[in-house]
Amino acid sequence: MKKIAFLVCTLCMVSIAGAQDAKSLLNEVSAKAKSYDNILIDFKYNLNNAKENVNQDTRGDVTLSGNKYVLHMMGTTRMFDGKKIYTIVPEDEEVTISNYNAQDDKEVTPSKLLTFYEKGYTYKMDIVQNIKGRKIQYVKLIPIDSKAEMKDVLLGIDVQTKHIYKLIQTDAKGTKYTLTVNSFKTNQPLSKTLFTFDEAKYKQDGYYINKLN
């Protein structure tokens, strides 16, 4: 009985230590990201659902500065200027403009990519991978909200740079969304108008402006 009690206590201590280590690592990643004026990420994105026989790859890039971002992916540009979200679809010659509501934003959006894990999750250390000489430590995050559509998140972190290398989201239906970072650049010279939407320009080019709010 004493041996069983000791084993249970030991497992609890290991679990607590693991959570503390995971929290410490995530705090370092967050602090590192917030220390940059801007971040440019080129990435590969994969959507996989074995049951539905779906496996799609695409590439994209995102520029982050504070909570502002410009995302290019699948022929569409999505921009957030801190107040409004602009979705620009050249193929349809249409721009959709909507107000941002933080309470409705429960997804891992570009503006939260490097900080989303700070609230609403429990976490623990997971596997370690060696990717071309880089040590990638994974942290598993599980939403505290039992009704969350997301089942869990695996966050792969480069131990040396403290940059995110990979993010794997799995939803309740078993669909996996994997983002793998190809390049991670910081403090780049950016245009002063990068996060400014020029409505007149798009109207002049014949775009339909759809304002939702």
What pLDDT does 8 receive? 32
- Digit-by-digit pLDDT tens for the chain (213 residues) are 433 333 332 222 223 234 458 888 988 988 888 899 999 999 999 999 988 899 999 999 999 998 899 999 999 999 999 899 999 999 999 999 998 876 555 555 666 666 777 778 888 999 999 999 999 999 998 988 888 888 898 999 999 999 999 999 998 888 999 999 999 999 999 999 999 999 999 999 999 999 987
Please give, one letter per residue, the 3-state secondary structure of 81-97: CCCEEEEEECCCCEEEE
What pLDDT does 105 receive? 53
Per DSSP, 14 falls in state H
Read off the pTM.
Answer: 0.82
Residues facing 170 on adjacent strands: 152, 176
Q: Residue 171 in contact with residue 149, Cβ under 8 Å? A: yes
Closest C-alpha among 26, 115, 112, 118 to residue 71? 112
